[in-house]
Chain A
Amino acid sequence: MQASKIALVAGSGIAFGLYEGVFNTFLGGWFSWFHPVLALTVFFVALERRNYALLFCGTAGLVMDAFAINTPTLAVWRLLLAAAAMSVVSEKVLTNRSLYSAAALVVLGRAVDFGGLFAEEKFLALRGIRADLVPAWSEALGIVAWDVVLTVGLFVFGMFILRRYLRPRRLLNRYG
């Protein structure tokens, strides 16, 4: 990984972590369900930039944890777990890089994320600490809907922009 790219990805992670951990908490209704970090992680995973995916969700998670209001939400751990699950499924199962597989990946990632929150909530409850971490059904569905919309949007953007300006590797091999 190049240093400039690392700085760019880590910087984006910090910016999106601030969005999700700080700015998002002031929004109401549908807008508060917009959590872009996971969808962007899927984008990196689908582009087979798994190191960038880990770096992006790691930095975003650190910022989200730094500004967590109650108990630490273990955002780094949850996001890395989600990125790991998405990477494995993308490598072994959903290998066709379609729009549907991207949407399925983000839904899987969000399920892992909610699973992590649920596990943390139960763990804290065992220690006698009340924490309202898992969102209500309506909110959870809203978050997943935004995830899918954003992932699809990113892929359409990627299809038009990245394919046009990035030369595929096989052409590079053929023509030098």
Chain B
Amino acid sequence: MTRRIPLIVTLIGAVLAVTLLYAVGALRPIQDGLRYVLLPAARLLSIVGSGLGFDVYGSDVGALRSQVKDYEARLAAISVDYVKLRSLEEENRLLRETSKFLSTSGYDHVGARVIARNIQGKSADILIDRGTDDGLEKGMAVIVGDGIFVGKLTSLNRKVSTVTLISDEQSRVAASPLSSRHLFGLVQGMGNGVSKLTLVPQTEELKHDDVLVTAGTEEKVPANLALALVDEVEGKPTDPFKTASLVPLARIDQLSLVVVLRPAALSPDKR
């Protein structure tokens, strides 16, 4: 005759067994296997999910209208600069073409799909479907569109990686102004989709609508990737540093495809 094990003993046993499995890391291979098998399904769900186009930060019509007016005013103000920029851009393109800049810059790129995201409160992280198998490493820059920097790789698995976006409270990126190209401040995440420029010496000139780019002082983040536009400059002349609120150049709450910049030497083809 078999004796029935009391319910509470079974449940406590199950919970303790799982605690032990976590502690010794025995669940990791199972999770790696699950990631490997379920990654195509996760990609499919992420395509459907991002296609639904939910707005994480809400969409108050009145606020959006005033935002549009603000952007239109800015667009008019910077259109003159834009014409100049276009001519410089064309010149730059030709120069790049002739000197084969990309082939010698030491970077290539890996496209990745966002398969999960955590953009709430002070956190702003995404999970992408590329990992160490694709030659990715911690600290690599992640961009969207025409080279807009959105974050850095902070945690990696074989098949997936976590990107900490620039608005995450833990994010810090060395920044420089587009015009002078020297390190002059730090773009610090503040949560809720907001980031701020800090530690700018009072001697530095900083004004509304200045374009910030990466300074290139970090090992795996190339220089001159667009970061944000300066919104309002804060700080009294007596303060040691200036700060500025920033306008993001990319909608980080609606990312679906991103590009990781990888030093060419780490490309799996060249290993």
B54 contacts A31, C-beta separation under 8 Å: yes
Which of B15, B122, B125: most chain A CB closer than 10 A?
B15
Contact with B170, one of A23, A80, A130, A136 (Cβ below 8 angstroms): A130
Distance, CA A81 to CA B155, complexed state (A):
27
Contact with B14, one of A65, A67, A80 (Cβ below 8 angstroms): A80
Count residues on chain B whose CB falls below 8 Å from chain A CBs: 45
B18 contacts A25, C-beta separation under 8 Å: no
The residues in A between 25 and 39 inclusive whose CB is less than 8 angstroms from any CB of B are 25-29, 31-32
A91 to chain B, nearest CB (A): 6
A125 to chain B, nearest CB (A): 13
Distance, CA A139 to CA B41, complexed state (A):
27
A26 contacts B18, C-beta separation under 8 Å: no
A87 contacts B7, C-beta separation under 8 Å: yes
- Interface bracket on A: 35 or more
Q: Given the complex, which residues of B lie within 8 Å of A69, measured CB to CB? A: 116-118, 125-127, 162
Q: Is the interface of A mostly helix, strand, loop or mixed?
A: helix
B7 contacts A22, C-beta separation under 8 Å: no
A70 contacts B115, C-beta separation under 8 Å: no
B169 within 8 A of A: yes
Distance, CA A54 to CA B13, complexed state (A):
12
Q: Given the complex, which residues of B lie within 8 Å of A19, measured CB to CB? A: 45
Chain B 1-13: CB-based contact to A (< 8 A → 1; otherwise 0) = 0000001101110
Q: Given the complex, which residues of B lie within 8 Å of A65, measured CB to CB? A: 27, 31
A76 within 8 A of B: yes
Interfacial residues, chain B to chain A (CB-CB below 8 A): 7-8, 10-12, 14-15, 18-19, 22, 27, 30-32, 34-35, 38, 41-42, 45-46, 48-50, 52, 54-56, 58, 115-118, 120-123, 125-127, 155, 160, 162, 169-170
